[in-house]
Amino acid sequence: MWSDGIPPHFDGRRFYNPGVAPPHGWRDILRWKLHSRAEPSPRFIDDVTPSVPPRRVEGHAVRVTFVNHSTVLLQAGGLNLLTDPIWSERAGPYAWLGPRRRRAPGVSLADLPPLDAVLISHNHYDHLDLATVRQLFRQQAAHYIVPRGVASWMRLQSIRQICELDWGEAVDLPGVRVHAVPALHFSARTPFDRNRALWCGYLLEMPGGKLYFAGDTAFGPHFAWIRRRFGPLRLALLPIGAYAPRSIMAPVHVSPEESLEAHRILGARTSIAIHHGTFRLTDETLDAPRQRLAEIAPAGFLTLNNGEALEVS
């Protein structure tokens, strides 16, 4: 299916993951939540040392700052790009509802450098946080790159400078071409809008090489498609958390073992783990994804602390 290009993934009303079983529905999620036995995890871990990124990184150097969860600041070629920003205390529709933050962000909003683009992978609350996006829009003049179906919602929130992409589409900004690439996941902000918007990853073509932000995804043939389409990568940002129990999470989130296999398939020179260590979303303990990856990963697949920065070779 994927050898001929991107397969159909929209039925005229809703988006879907081509060629795989659909994610579990609300009834399955509710049944899991009512009967799950989550592993114990600290309510809050006070171990974050905030950092202040430079305003710009010029030339072919690539600097990665792991802010928290799936929020990463990418600095390369004089550009500043931010992924799936969340600074709120909860990942939910209201300030009092949703998974609570267990670690502080590693960079304060006030210390962010001038942003050129903000990349949104999908509309779940831990990846598209309204309070954070509103604050960024007030203090930054960035472009917002979003998947198909998300732009109309953002315009209702008075967010502007939005570019909406389907899988396989791209937009050119000064110094970077941003491709929306497939992911296997789902979308929803309410019980009534499931899969009305798309989900995606992003492939960034820059003078210093190709960078990949996976967003949220299950394991699937799209990793091999990305490798065939774009060749080996200088950097991949790959999720490792929110994977247990596999009976519920396998259709939407990779495990650390699957993320490592994606790293190998993609031919990434360096991979950095995301989607871990800040919000407790599923049954595994907060730092179990990081601990498991440390047991199995080669030297080229790294985890960073909130606020930690790395210059990628």
Confidence of residue 196 (pLDDT cuts 50, 70, 90): very high
162/130 Cα distance (integer angstroms): 15
| Average of per-residue pLDDT across 159-184 | 97
Determine the Cα–Cα distance for residues 133 and 140; give it in Å rounded to an integer: 10
Instruction: Write down the residue that tokens 């114990």 correspond to.
Output: 40
Q: Over the stretch 102-133, which tens digit does the pLDDT of each residue have?
A: 999 999 999 999 999 999 999 999 999 999 99
Taking only Cα atoms into account, the Rg of the chain, rounded to an integer number of angstroms, comes to: 18
Alpha-carbon separation of residue 251 from 21, 60, 81, 242 (angstroms): 7, 37, 29, 12
Q: Are 225 and 6 in contact (CB under 8 A)?
A: yes
pLDDT of 208 > 90? The answer is no
Q: What number does CATH give the domain 50-312? A: 3.60.15.10
Residue 254 has pLDDT above 80, yes or no: yes
pTM of the entire structure? 0.97
pLDDT tens across 74-109, in order?
999 999 999 999 999 999 999 889 999 999 999 999
Q: With contact defined as beta carbons under 8 Å apart, do 86 and 71 qualify?
A: yes
Q: How far apart are CA 61 and CA 115, in angstroms?
A: 17
Return the pLDDT at 31: 82
Q: Give how far Cα 227 sits from Cα of 19, 213, 219, 222, 266, Å.
A: 19, 13, 14, 9, 5
Express each pLDDT in 20-54 by its tens digit: 888 887 787 778 877 777 788 899 999 999 999 99
- Give the DSSP letter of residue 277: S
- Residue spans of the domains in the chain: they are 50-312
- Count of CB atoms situated within 10 Å of the CB of 269: 15
Quick check: 296 and 260 in contact, CB under 8 A? yes
pLDDT at position 230 over 80: yes
